Amino acid sequence: MLANTKKILEKARKENYAVGHFNINNMETVQAIVKAAENLKSPVILAISEGAIKYAGLEYLYNLALISSKNSKVPIALHLDHGKDLKIIKRCIKIGFSSVMIDASHENFETNINLTKKIVKLAHKKKISVEAELGTIGGIEDYVSSKKIIYTDPYKAEEFVKRTGCDFLAVAIGTSHGAYKFKGKAHLKIDILKQIQNKVKIPLVLHGASSVPKNIVNLAEKYGANLKGVKGVPEKQLTTSVKNGICKVNTDTDLRISFDAAVRKVIKNQPKDFDPRHILGPARDLIQKTVERKIKILGSDNKA
Ligand code: G3H
Ligand code: 13P
Ligand code: ZN
């Protein structure tokens, strides 16, 4: 059975560690994440974006997660990432996700509150928890320009959580989605995070948390990728964020680069091999290693 995201994250908040949210699009990625979680006895959150639904189909991805959770000894939750389309959010609630995100962060404060309240009401009826977002995280949500990231206002965050009844809050403290997070030195606003943590007593979520590990980038580039200028969140800053209230850490880009690097390597080294299992198997293995590394950084190993 799928695990309860709220329970997983409330435990993490009490015991001061974070649980990894990892985006899934296909079977290999699901298997890699689940195996990593099982190896390290860690709870884990599988996440599906609206783009993933478009690519693979809601029922396919839901059932991959469901089968994994049925066969596993560790808690595996299923979450809708960046829900913007109300119809999709409702489908995820209906089919039985563990949690959904309503991302109305691009709307004004009152509209964000109203949309979030509406989803909270629908989801809570089915005991499904809700993540909402306040402020803007760069990258895919950066509707204005990458220079215009709006950090979460701690006072507004307090009011937002009170008025919406959301279960987890995604905060904007300087991260952005994708592989190009910082032009200069990486810097998260830990001072803002501390203020939010003082005012908001629910689990906080860090989006855009990929570290873009050098060894994986080097591997991908060795086999032909062009990843000039990529920069992620340094692992030390992730640890600091977790110490200051981040309980859910979202990672997608690191899995994508791992997949890419491993596939490129096989194709280059084995030009006569066209068996998809030989091409995708090493990608699965490398994603597993990447997830294991992340779980250890977040401190959720042995917490299942
Ligand atoms: O937060 C965004 C995730 O990386 C999902 O990205 O919308 O391309 O699936 P996607
Ligand atoms: P990354 O692009 O840093 O992996 O962030 C993923 C994310 O925030 C998914 O919601
Ligand atoms: Zn995100």
pTM tops 0.75, yes or no: yes
Q: Which residues make up the environment of ion ligand 3, defined by Cβ < 5 Å?
A: 207, 250
Residues with CB under 6 A from ligand 1: 23, 49, 51-52, 81-82, 140, 177, 252
Nearest CA to ligand 1 atom 3: 252
Which domains are assigned to the chain? 5-298 (3.20.20.70)
Radius of gyration of the chain (CA): 18
Report yes or no: 230 and 255 within 8 Å, Cβ to Cβ: no
**208 φ/ψ sector (left φ>0, alpha ψ -120 to 50, else beta):** left
Reference 81, options 109, 52, 55; nearest CA is 52
Annotated catalytic sites, by residue?
A: 81
Q: Which of 25, 252, 257, 298 to mutate to test the pocket of ligand 2 (most atoms within 8 A of CB)?
A: 252
Distance 271 CA to ligand 2 centre (A): 33
- Note down pLDDT in tens along the chain; length 304 residues: 999 999 999 999 999 999 999 999 999 999 999 999 999 999 999 999 999 999 999 999 999 999 999 999 999 999 999 999 999 999 999 999 999 999 999 999 999 999 999 999 999 999 999 999 999 887 755 444 445 678 999 999 999 999 999 999 999 999 999 999 998 899 999 999 999 999 999 999 999 999 999 999 999 999 999 999 999 999 999 999 999 999 999 999 999 999 999 999 999 999 999 999 999 999 999 999 999 999 999 999 999 9
Distance 162 CA to ligand 3 centre (A): 23
Q: Which residues contact 91 (CB under 8 A, 6 or more apart)?
A: 58
